[in-house]
Chains A and B, each alone.
Chain A
């Protein structure tokens, strides 16, 4: 059973526009969520996090929104840049060090 789902395997966006990556989860015990970015031939790198006591967290061009009632979170990248082209993973955790990762969304930002 996939506890964290990223239903869009890929997304293409024009440079300068907004990229919206979505993530759904089924485990109501999840209290913390992380987003990672992964370039080919590299390990994932941490991007941004959010706690369930918040509905929004912002860091520069990256904003994560959390809708607990819908068990849904999204990552917004504004403006999108070609260097943002990568695979993005969301992950959910329940107050321990163990996170469950989604299947990833490949973002392509077109110049």
Chain B
């Protein structure tokens, strides 16, 4: 079974704090993704990584950065948390080669972040 784990299910941080969200996958997937889910807006891609130390901006990268030092681990960093970053954060991973229909993404359980 593919497993994508996220370091915290719930997190409460103060405005201006630096926040780290960690994600680990055990399927040797090349690709890893960070999304945020907000009511009425669906899943929006923040950043993705297709290899170690490689990253690309998604649709809403402002205010975020990422780090991928090892293949199985992908971190999302909020440099200075703001209240508009209160959201559900979802990490996902997928294979990187072959049939695109096999690029289905496996998601972690999510981290609900509240910034006060």
Contacts and interface: CB of A to CB of B under 8 A. Distances in A.
A49 B85 CA distance: 31
A99 to B, nearest CB: 7
Among B40, B48, B104, B108, the most chain A Cβ lie within 10 Å of the Cβ of B104
A97 B94 contact: yes
Interface in B81-116: 90, 92, 94-96, 100-101, 103-110
A101 B42 contact: yes
Q: How large is the interface on A (under 10, 10 to 19, 20 to 34, 35 or more residues)?
A: 20 to 34
A43 interface: yes
A95 B40 contact: no
Contacts of A44: 43, 90, 107
Nearest to B103: A97
Contacts of A93: 100, 103
A31 B110 CA distance: 28
Nearest to A98: B48
A56 to B, nearest CB: 15
B50 interface: yes
Q: How large is the interface on B (under 10, 10 to 19, 20 to 34, 35 or more residues)?
A: 20 to 34
A36 to B, nearest CB: 8
A6 B43 CA distance: 12
B31 interface: yes
A58 to B, nearest CB: 15
Contact of A49 (B45, B95, B101): B101
Interface string B19-34: 0000000000011000
22 contacts: A31-B100, A32-B100, A36-B107, A41-B110, A42-B109, A42-B110, A43-B4, A43-B90, A44-B90, A46-B105, A46-B106, A49-B101, A49-B104, A51-B101, A93-B100, A96-B100, A96-B103, A97-B96, A97-B100, A97-B103, A101-B35, A101-B43
